[in-house]
Amino acid sequence: MTAFVVATVALLGLVVGSFLNVVIYRVPVGESVVSPRSRCPGCGESIAERDNIPVLSWLILRGRCRSCQQPISIRYPLVELGHALLWLVMLAQFELTWELPAFLYLASVGLALAMIDLDTKRLPNALTLPSYVVGAVLLLLPALFDDQWDDYLRAGLGMVALYGFYFVLALIYPKGMGWGDVKLAGVLGLYLGWLGWGSLVVGGFLGFLLGALIGGGLMLVRRAGRKTKIPFGPFMLAGALLAIVWGQQWWDLYLDTLA
């Protein structure tokens, strides 16, 4: 893989990450993500093109609005950098294959959903439901061009399996599992099922493990209580990311220990 490809994916990741900041802010409040132009929440002034360059503009402006000098949260450049890093991880994992577009999309929508869930404690249908269609269409590319129909079938079964598992959990314990989590589970099951049953099991398990560890840690330091509502979507997405990169290896290692 050439340095040009890596640099191109990183730059595109920064640009798309800048757009994700708009998605993260506007989707929960039902606003259009394409219009009007981004504005400073302090003075209402439209952000000029020169002040909308990912990361660089924030550094040049020293984290303040050019017009009113109101501080601009460091979260904006961090989201841009984090998104670019996620795209590079997907590039390293899948290289320039027909699978790559599907997993780049998952990285983008996953980051947006994680941030929205942290902010609002909900996973909007406007992002989760279209992801079923987008994921199925993008994974159809490697199925068609690389003859990976077995993987495509397993992806569909994985989607049904993980959705069904979360659906049952939501029925049994509705206070601990939201329907947004159930819908997200189906999307993650689609992608993890494509990679293999081991990745699906590992990704599903890691979501619960990360949630238990971090939730327990917050309780220990008294930042949360038994009744504190902690968004579960970010843990599901983090578990899926780990499973995309290492899930099958960890599953094989687990099976070796049983042999």
60 and 169 both lie in a single domain: no
For residue 174, the model assigns a pLDDT of 81
Answer for the pair 72, 58: CB distance below 8 angstroms, yes or no: yes
Amino acid found at 42: G
Mean pLDDT of the chain: 92
223 and 105 both lie in a single domain: yes
Give percent above pLDDT 90 in the chain. 72
Residue 189 CA to residue 203 CA, distance in Å, equals 9
Tokens of 26: 């506007």
Q: Where is the domain boundary, 95, 121, 142? A: 95
Q: Where is the domain boundary, 95, 120, 144? A: 95
Per DSSP, the chain holds a count of helices (H) and strands (E) of: 10, 0
Task: For residue 71, list its beta bridge partners.
Answer: 64
254 and 134 both lie in a single domain: yes
Sequence-distant (≥ 6) Cβ neighbours of residue 232 within 8 angstroms: 117, 177, 178, 181, 207, 211
Neighbours of 81 (CB within 10 A): 16
Closest by CA position to 195, among listed 131, 91, 105, 99: 99
* Strand, coil or helix: 67: coil
**pTM (predicted TM-score):** 0.94
Residue 128 CA to residue 185 CA, distance in Å, equals 10
Tokens of 179: 């329907």
Q: Where is the domain boundary, 52, 67, 95? A: 95
For residue 128, the model assigns a pLDDT of 98
Mean pLDDT, range 249-257, rounded to an integer: 91
73 and 190 both lie in a single domain: no
Mean pLDDT, range 101-115, rounded to an integer: 98
Among 102-106, 117-121, 222-226, which stretch is predicted with the lowest mean pLDDT? 222-226
Tell me the residue range of the domain where 176 lies.
97-259
Answer for the pair 75, 114: CB distance below 8 angstroms, yes or no: no
Number of domains forming the structure of the chain: 2
For residue 225, the model assigns a pLDDT of 64
64 and 147 both lie in a single domain: no
83 and 110 both lie in a single domain: no
How do residues 20-74 score in pLDDT, each as one tens digit?
999 999 999 998 888 877 777 777 677 878 878 899 988 888 888 888 888 889 9
163 and 81 both lie in a single domain: no
Task: Give residue 143's pLDDT band: very low, low, confident or very high (50, 70, 90).
Answer: very high
Residue 181 pLDDT greater than 90, yes or no: yes
Closest by CA position to 242, among listed 213, 211, 207, 214: 207
Answer for the pair 240, 196: CB distance below 8 angstroms, yes or no: no
Amino acid found at 222: R
